[in-house]
A and B are shown apart, each in its own frame.
Chain A
Amino acid sequence: MRASGKSGRRSWGARAVVRIPYVWLAIFFLVPFLIVLKISLSQTVIAQPPYVPVLDLAAGWAGLKDFAARLSFDGYELLVFDPLYLFSYLKSLEVAAISTAILLAIGYPIAYGIARCPPRLQPVLVMLVILPFWTSFLIRVYAWINILQRDGLLNDLLIGLHIVDAPVAWLSSDTAIYIGVIYSYLPFMVLPLYATLEKMDETLLEAAADLGCPRWKAFWLVTVSLSLPGVAAGALLCFIPVVGEFVIPDLLGGSETMMIGQTLWMEFFSNRDWPVASAIAVALLCLLLVPMLFYERLQQRALEGEH
């Protein structure tokens, strides 16, 4: 009896542990999301709060029906018909896609290099990759303003080396955005790649060579093929947040192009149009859900593969 009681308690505890993430997600993701979703279906007014309808549960069932009847899709309509928003989304996707490609091109050799270093050196190198996190992200992006500005370090260097004659306007351009994004997100690309490359079995390359595969081809057929889950993880870890990136384009980018994060900020704080800002957020989430689900499936398959 005692044993069964104990195991019953343990299984209750086990179930509670499993539920903690769900509770967490419900409180900190689902509820806020529902609020945002609700606001996105409202209409903007000059009032406190700046939208109608306001859910009034005191009015009972009739109040709820009245509330539902007054919801509108005006915010979403605007997203579709005003090209400003479409351009913002496309710009964000473009920046995210190009940055991810460049991050992969830079991150893969770095991760591969670290993974092939003597084992006692590897933790040091990984530490160096993580080291920038010790400084606030915001401060590091501000530092780039200093580096990229007209009389900044980069121009000093280029002029000093006689590569250019006059200072280049780096700041407030797409180039500056790319520099900032690639600098900030490189660790997120390197770490998952290193994790997959580090556990790769060297004898697989010997086996490939033994079976008639030259070194360069074995790298492609074995190393790269086997590191694809790491590539996917790194790419999505960079792509998804870069799409919604606000700080970097706002501080380093120009005013002529806006990424979706900036548009959202503008609608919310400058135009005080909460419903449209919320609609942008909901649409962005739906857009990012596609790569997230794709990543989820990849991980699932990788997990199955381990058994």
Chain B
Amino acid sequence: MVEGGGATQGQAEARRTLVRFEAVAKHFGQVIAVEALTLDIEQGEFFALLGPSGCGKTTLLRMLAGFETPSEGRILLDGEDILAMPAHRRPVNMMFQSYALFPHLTVEGNIAFGLRQEKAGKAERAERVAEMLALVRLQGYGKRRIDQLSGGQRQRVALARALIKRPRVLLLDEPMAALDKKLRAETQFELMELQRKLGTTFVIVTHDQEEAMIVADRIAVMDHGRLVQVAPPAEIYERPNLRWVADFIGEVTMIEGRLGPSGGVLDTGLGRLRVATDSSAKPGQTVWLALRPEKLRLSAGRPTAGDLNTVAGTVFEIGYRGELSIYKVRLADRSLMKVALANTGARGQASFDVDDLVWLSWPPESGVVLTG
């Protein structure tokens, strides 16, 4: 199994652009599905297009597959413009959200479909189908009809069918949307393992931020047909470039304030807070401090150590999640701040009760200052 989510991002060898969207835009009548955007996807990476429904991520994927034609721009594969190439000639294969398995064919018939179009010999076909069945762990299921399979098995048939032609890029359109939560979690790790084993470039479309963070080496966050941020998962989580991204990915508490004249301090409704800023924020500017719940510490007494920011409040609500509990703390300005505490105690007993007076603290570098 794989240790740690998104661990594969370290193994970037010689970085080489495989797919390039060059100022690609797509309009459906008056509706702009994708606004002119440029995006590079590297050879061998697991790339995620993440965003709420209707953000244009699926349209982007379908343009790459050849099912939609861009209104503007070019799509390059290995430096060559593939727009003139019809879908059936493109060396990319897609795994559909509905799986789109052929109901009149067996599992083998479905998996072999792509090879049949290539006029591959019977022996080669049988060998590669067997190889694919083994890869997705469906040995012995070759003769089954599609309607005799469970949802998870169908998903694996769809994957095998898309992989058998050894595509340059495998496109996955919400591949796990139809699976239940537990199976989805297993499948995510299986997909990552598969991707590393094959070295094929995977492009996944998903609206599930957790899924994107787990499987992908890099994520493109999209909203309203635009790219909002393109970065590895940890960077998107730790260093979001916009309030929208911080809010979309994971939990966050936002504190509005004005940067002090010398920088490094922020005047807010909760008093003066110390912050670590990069150069983009100017003194006197209104900015937002984004704080992740797990970066905050909760204590009964006021911590005195060094340059910690401290804020007092009362526990308003406790949400027990198993591995951790979410505390909602009401602050002096009536706002609520979320704090996540790992339940490491033997019995998972809560350290604090509702209405307890508590102190929140965090070092300045734990928060992210956002200008927009």
B104 in contact (CB, < 8 A)? yes
Check B89–A206 contact: CB distance below 8 A.
no
B282 in contact (CB, < 8 A)? no
B102 in contact (CB, < 8 A)? yes
Complexed CA–CA distance, A204 and B113 (Å): 12
B118 in contact (CB, < 8 A)? yes
B131 in contact (CB, < 8 A)? no
Q: List chain B residues, Cβ under 8 A from A306.
A: 147
Among B101, B102, B147, B162, find the residue whose CB has the most chain A CB atoms closer than 10 A. B102
A160 in contact (CB, < 8 A)? no
Check A201–B113 contact: CB distance below 8 A.
no
Task: Offer 21 A-B interface pairs, CB within 8 angstroms, sorted by A.
Answer: A201-B98, A203-B100, A206-B67, A207-B101, A207-B161, A209-B86, A209-B87, A211-B88, A211-B93, A211-B113, A211-B114, A211-B161, A211-B165, A212-B114, A213-B117, A214-B86, A226-B102, A226-B103, A226-B104, A306-B147, A307-B147
Complexed CA–CA distance, A222 and B65 (Å): 19
Check B102–A222 contact: CB distance below 8 A.
yes
Complexed CA–CA distance, A307 and B146 (Å): 11
Nearest-neighbour CB distance to chain B for A109, whole angstroms, equals: 21
| Known contacts A203-B96, A305-B145, A306-B147; is-contact A212 B165 (Cβ 8 Å) | yes
B83 in contact (CB, < 8 A)? no
Extra contacts, 13 of them, besides A207-B96, A211-B93 (Cβ < 8 A), are A204-B102, A206-B100, A208-B88, A210-B67, A210-B88, A211-B162, A212-B88, A213-B88, A213-B113, A213-B117, A214-B86, A217-B117, A306-B147
Q: List chain A residues, Cβ under 8 A from B103.
A: 226, 305
Name B70-124 residues within 8 Å CB distance of A: 86-89, 92-94, 96, 98, 100-104, 113-114, 117-118
Q: List chain B residues, Cβ under 8 A from A206.
A: 65, 67, 87, 94, 96, 100
Complexed CA–CA distance, A26 and B94 (Å): 55
A225 in contact (CB, < 8 A)? yes
Quick one: closest A residue to B101, CB to CB? A207
Q: List chain B residues, Cβ under 8 A from A226.
A: 102-104
Interface size on B, residues (CB 8 A): 26
Please report B residues at the A interface, Cβ cutoff 8 Å.
Answer: 65-67, 86-89, 92-94, 96, 98, 100-104, 113-114, 117-118, 145, 147, 161-162, 165
Name A291-307 residues within 8 Å CB distance of B: 305-307
Complexed CA–CA distance, A215 and B66 (Å): 13
Q: Which of A211, A222, A225, A305 contacts B147 (CB 8 A)?
A: A305
Q: Which of B104, B113, B147, B165 contacts A208 (CB 8 A)?
A: B113
Closest 7 A/B residue pairs (Cβ)? A212-B117, A211-B114, A207-B100, A203-B100, A209-B87, A209-B88, A210-B94
Complexed CA–CA distance, A210 and B102 (Å): 13
Quick one: closest B residue to A215, CB to CB? B88
Q: List chain A residues, Cβ under 8 A from B66.
A: 209-210
Check A211–B117 contact: CB distance below 8 A.
yes
Name A192-222 residues within 8 Å CB distance of B: 201, 203-204, 206-215, 217, 222
Complexed CA–CA distance, A201 and B86 (Å): 21
Complexed CA–CA distance, A222 and B105 (Å): 10
Check B98–A210 contact: CB distance below 8 A.
no
| Known contacts A211-B114, A212-B114, A212-B165; is-contact A203 B93 (Cβ 8 Å) | no
Among A213, A217, A306, find the residue whose CB has the most chain B CB atoms closer than 10 A. A213
Complexed CA–CA distance, A208 and B66 (Å): 12
Nearest-neighbour CB distance to chain B for A272, whole angstroms, equals: 53
Quick one: closest B residue to A213, CB to CB? B117
Q: Which of B87, B101, B118 contacts A210 (CB 8 A)?
A: B87
Q: List chain A residues, Cβ under 8 A from B165.
A: 211-212
Complexed CA–CA distance, A225 and B113 (Å): 14
Complexed CA–CA distance, A204 and B162 (Å): 13
Quick one: closest B residue to A307, CB to CB? B147
Quick one: closest B residue to A214, CB to CB? B88
Q: List chain B residues, Cβ under 8 A from A204.
A: 100, 102
Q: List chain B residues, Cβ under 8 A from A209.
A: 66-67, 86-88
Q: List chain B residues, Cβ under 8 A from A225.
A: 104
Q: List chain A residues, Cβ under 8 A from B93.
A: 210-211
Q: List chain A residues, Cβ under 8 A from B147.
A: 305-307
Q: List chain A residues, Cβ under 8 A from B162.
A: 210-211
Name A267-307 residues within 8 Å CB distance of B: 305-307
Nearest-neighbour CB distance to chain B for A223, whole angstroms, equals: 11
Nearest-neighbour CB distance to chain A for B173, whole angstroms, equals: 10
Complexed CA–CA distance, A215 and B67 (Å): 12
